[in-house]
């Protein structure tokens, strides 16, 4: 499966969130709307981030991959993305700036592995990653994703 299939246009949002909690909620909203996650899943993500060491979800480059355990309300394996209009600090820690927030919902321990492989290849490509951070529209993001 291509990355674009995991991240359809309706799972991509642009957000003016000014707090990390709001950025997580904005990023997760498409999955909640499509009933791919339960509300508890978003709460579990925010709890995991606030716990000591929760900033492990920071991938660097201003990119966060937020997730929780499948049993916390992931109903289907899915991915969503929020592109933030300004930098927000993960868990209010200036060492962990966020401009992009991916929400990963994994319904079990293996179904997300292909998705993660494709996302890693994409984010490992410096040009693709930088273009994603700079993208100003859903169509720009879709075009970038279609190559992976």
59-71 residue pLDDT tens: 999 999 999 999 9
Domains in the chain: ranges and CATH? 3-145 (3.40.930.10)
Q: Which residues are catalytic?
A: 67
pTM over 0.85: yes
Rounding to the nearest 10 degrees, give the CA dihedral for residues 121, 126, 129, 135: -140
Cβ contacts of 50-54, under 8 Å, gap ≥ 24: 50/91, 54/91
Mean pLDDT rounded to a whole number for the chain: 95
45-60 residue pLDDT tens: 999 999 999 999 999 9
32: pLDDT strictly greater than 80: yes
DSSP assignment of 86-128, as one string?
A: EEEEGGG-TTSEEEEEEEEE-SSSSTTHHHHHHHHHHHHSHHH
């Amino acid at each position: 499966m291509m990355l674009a299939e995991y991240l359809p246009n309706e799972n991509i949002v642009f957000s003016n969130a000014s707090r990390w909690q709001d950025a997580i909620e904005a990023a997760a909203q498409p999955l909640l709307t499509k009933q791919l996650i339960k509300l508890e899943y978003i709460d579990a993500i925010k709890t995991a981030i606030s716990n000591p060491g929760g900033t492990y979800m920071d991938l660097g480059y201003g990119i966060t991959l937020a997730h929780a355990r499948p049993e916390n309300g992931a109903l289907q394996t899915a991915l969503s993305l929020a592109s933030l209009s300004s930098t927000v600090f993960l868990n209010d820690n200036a060492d962990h700036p966020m401009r992009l927030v991916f929400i990963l919902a994994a319904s079990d321990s293996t179904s997300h592995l292909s998705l993660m492989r494709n996302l890693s290849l994409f984010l490992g490509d410096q040009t693709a990653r930088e273009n994603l951070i700079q993208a100003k529209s859903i169509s720009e993001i879709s075009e970038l994703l279609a190559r992976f």
